[in-house]
């Protein structure tokens, strides 16, 4: 049996979100429950996009700085997919360009996290002595985040080919 929120619990959760939630979650709540505008949610999501096209600013709360990461960018693409953002939207195009720039063709993966800057250790599950050790702890990044990235690129209608055990994103 699936548990459901009671109407009073749902109202309390929505009130809490309205009072304490980030503007993005507030906009998403409006889209999902109040016939809110997807455009307003896309606009709220734009606050997390950096000049390099990737997303940061703690969109995915495990990241503790503002820098773009593949994981934050895949979270953004998840939101774009749910909102029905077209693949030619500037935010999506810039995110795809960022992901292409982060792709590690030698390993055939997108890294879970780019090299960490001093002072940005992040949560304990990102602690590692080297990038290789971090990637190894995430199974070589073949599933997280690479499979997710490939899936979102496919959902956006961006063709992906596999060459010599490497996924190569190609915009059509």
Q: What is the pLDDT of residues 15-35, one digit of tens each?
A: 999 999 999 999 999 999 999
Record the tokens describing residue 39, joined without a space.
């455009």
Q: Please give the average per-residue pLDDT across 102-119, as a whole number.
A: 74
Q: Measuring CA to CA, how many Å separate 77 from each of 20, 41, 81, 124, 159? A: 24, 13, 6, 25, 15
**Is the pLDDT at 163 greater than 80, yes or no?**
no
**Higher pLDDT pick, 116 / 77:** 77
Bridge partners for 49 per DSSP: 55
Using CA atoms, how far residue 135 sits from 34, 114, 129, 144, 146, in Å, is: 41, 10, 11, 10, 11
Question: Residue 172's pLDDT is what?
Answer: 46
Distance from the first to the final alpha carbon of the chain: 44
Q: For residues 43 and 148, what is the distance between their CA atoms, to the nearest angstrom?
A: 23
Residue with tokens 């990235």: 149
* pTM (2 d.p.): 0.83
Average per-residue pLDDT for the chain: 83
Please give the pLDDT value at position 40: 98
- In tens, the pLDDT along 120-139 reads 666 666 666 777 777 676 67
């Amino acid at each position: 049996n699936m548990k459901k929120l009671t109407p009073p619990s749902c109202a309390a959760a929505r009130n809490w979100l309205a009072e304490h939630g980030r503007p993005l979650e507030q906009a998403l709540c409006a889209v999902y429950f109040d016939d809110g505008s997807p455009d307003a949610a896309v606009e709220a999501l734009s606050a997390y996009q950096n000049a390099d096209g990737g997303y940061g600013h703690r969109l995915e709360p495990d990241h503790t700085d503002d820098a773009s990461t593949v994981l934050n960018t895949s979270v953004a693409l998840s939101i774009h997919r749910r909102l029905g953002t077209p693949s030619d939207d500037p935010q999506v195009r810039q995110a795809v360009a960022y992901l292409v720039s982060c792709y590690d063709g030698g390993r055939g993966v997108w890294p879970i996290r780019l090299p960490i800057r001093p002072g940005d250790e992040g949560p304990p599950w990102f602690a590692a002595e080297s990038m290789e050790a971090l990637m190894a702890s995430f199974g070589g990044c073949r599933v997280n985040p690479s499979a997710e990235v490939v899936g979102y690129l496919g959902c956006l209608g961006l063709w992906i080919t596999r060459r010599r055990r490497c996924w190569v994103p190609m915009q059509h």
